[in-house]
Structure 1
Amino acid sequence: MSLSKQEMAAVVARDIPHGAYVNLGIGQPTTVADHLAPDSGVVLHTENGMLGMGRAARDGEVDPDLINAGKIPVTELPGASYFHHADSFAMMRGGHLDVCVLGAFQVSQHGDLANWHTGAPDAIPAVGGAMDLAIGAKQVFVMMTLLAKDGTPKLVPDCTYPLTGVGCVDRVYTEVATFATGPAGLTVLETFGTTVEELSETLGLALAG
């Protein structure tokens, strides 16, 4: 049985190393914050200028001055700090983040990332800090559905959308499987309600694992 969005977030949270400094991209990746164990030691960074972000704020916890990069109200952990977004981008570009978790329109089997523009004439480009994160973080995790709304695979031999980064993605988390990317192609690390053979047929790609 395939995973729900919250179950996907829990799988990603489980795989983040203890004590890592992590940036969660706008959209689905922000839900990972709600699934980090209290003793994980993970320090969450936001590109709008915060270290030590906690989970999403619930009723009665909302502080309008505490939001993540997606403008969602969040909580703060003891020792949280705040700074100018220029300093935040310096952290991203300077190699100070251990992991970033991003969404994507496409990821190639070799780890190329396309997540800022589909190239469609009516699409609104949204680069944000994705290029800085894709190159600056030591590991890049992607959370996305395996298929687009039109049923076409988002894991592809080569990206057809404008690239965010080349060979930057380490892992891809979907509702049916977790993949590792690399020069040799895709390796299936874990499946949820499917098989490697079924995934290979769906994607039209040779898969290891």
Structure 2
Amino acid sequence: MTQTEMTPKQIIAARVAKEMKNGDVVNLGIGLPTMVPNYLPENVEVILQSENGYIGLGPVNGDIDPDLVNAGGQPAGINPGGAFFDSLFSFELIRGGHVDVTVLGGLEVDQNGNIANWMVPGKMVPGMGGAMDLVTGAKKVIVAMEHCNKKGGSKILKECTLPLTGKGVVDVIVTELAVFRVTDYGLVLEELMDGVTLDTVKEKTEAEFTLGEKLAN
């Protein structure tokens, strides 16, 4: 399937999958991030960790077990060698730096690597969940989100306006239009998705950014 045949979320998930390395311990946020394993290269296997007390999550095989769900409450399976544990141990793994990569959605991300992804003031929310711990405890934080909100406004800003989940924690931003990396020198546009022009990304991105080596040459 080519990018022209894929939905925006599929494009994002497929590109995020390329960030994974064989053997990575990976935590996936609810929604779009759960699509990432569908696009992993054949030579890459990751170990999925879920903050509700599992490591080694896999697809559902056979009958659904009502007691085996991912952090979003969706039915899941467990791979051979997987383990179950309580929330205390789960967050010891996260806070102790044992998660290699976390992939989360975002409401807003800014050029300083700040992320807001858990609430909009005035709207009912269940709480931050494990997001605050994950963005500070994981070795690599990838934000997987559509480039603009439902009103067409940029979600990649000069400065977040919503309550933050984490400050200066984001490493990579992947949208259906582009891939950005957050560096000590600011936001760097590393890659354009197929068929996307630089002018389009400039038009739809409020944040300031520089061009990576491949795009600058």
- TM-score, normalising length from structure 1? 0.90
Find 2:22's aligned residue among 18, 21, 41.
Answer: 18
Aligned to 1:77: 79
The Cα shift of 1:117 comes to 1.4
Do residues 207 (structure 1) and 210 (structure 2) align?
yes
Is 1:109–1:158's contact at 8 Å kept on the other side of the alignment?
yes
Percent identity of equivalent pairs: 43
Is 2:111–2:209's contact at 8 Å kept on the other side of the alignment?
no
Aligned to 1:159: 160
| 1:52-107 deviations in Å (ceiling 9; x for gaps) | 1113x37x442222210001111221111110112101111111111100111100
The Cα shift of 1:37 comes to 4.3
| 1:85-143 deviations in Å (ceiling 9; x for gaps) | 12101111111111100111100012111111122x23426300000000000000011
Q: How many residues are paired up?
A: 206
- TM-score, normalising length from structure 2? 0.87
Instruction: Give the whole-Å Cα distance in 1 for the aligned partners of 2:42 and 2:70.
Output: 19
| Residue identity in the other structure for 2:159 | D
Instruction: Give the whole-Å Cα distance in 2 for the aligned partners of 1:78 and 1:35.
Output: 21
Q: Give 4+ residue runs of structure 1 displaced > 6 Å after superposition.
A: none
Aligned to 2:114: 112
Do residues 135 (structure 1) and 136 (structure 2) align?
yes
Is 2:188–2:209's contact at 8 Å kept on the other side of the alignment?
no
1:26-45 equivalences under 5 Å are: 26-37=30-41, 39-45=43-49
Of 10-19 and 102-111, more deviation after overlay is shown by 10-19
Do residues 102 (structure 1) and 104 (structure 2) align?
yes
Give RMSD over aligned pairs.
1.8
Distance 1:125-1:79 versus aligned 2 partners, 3 A rule: closer
The Cα shift of 1:184 comes to 2.1
Unaligned runs of 5+ in 1: none
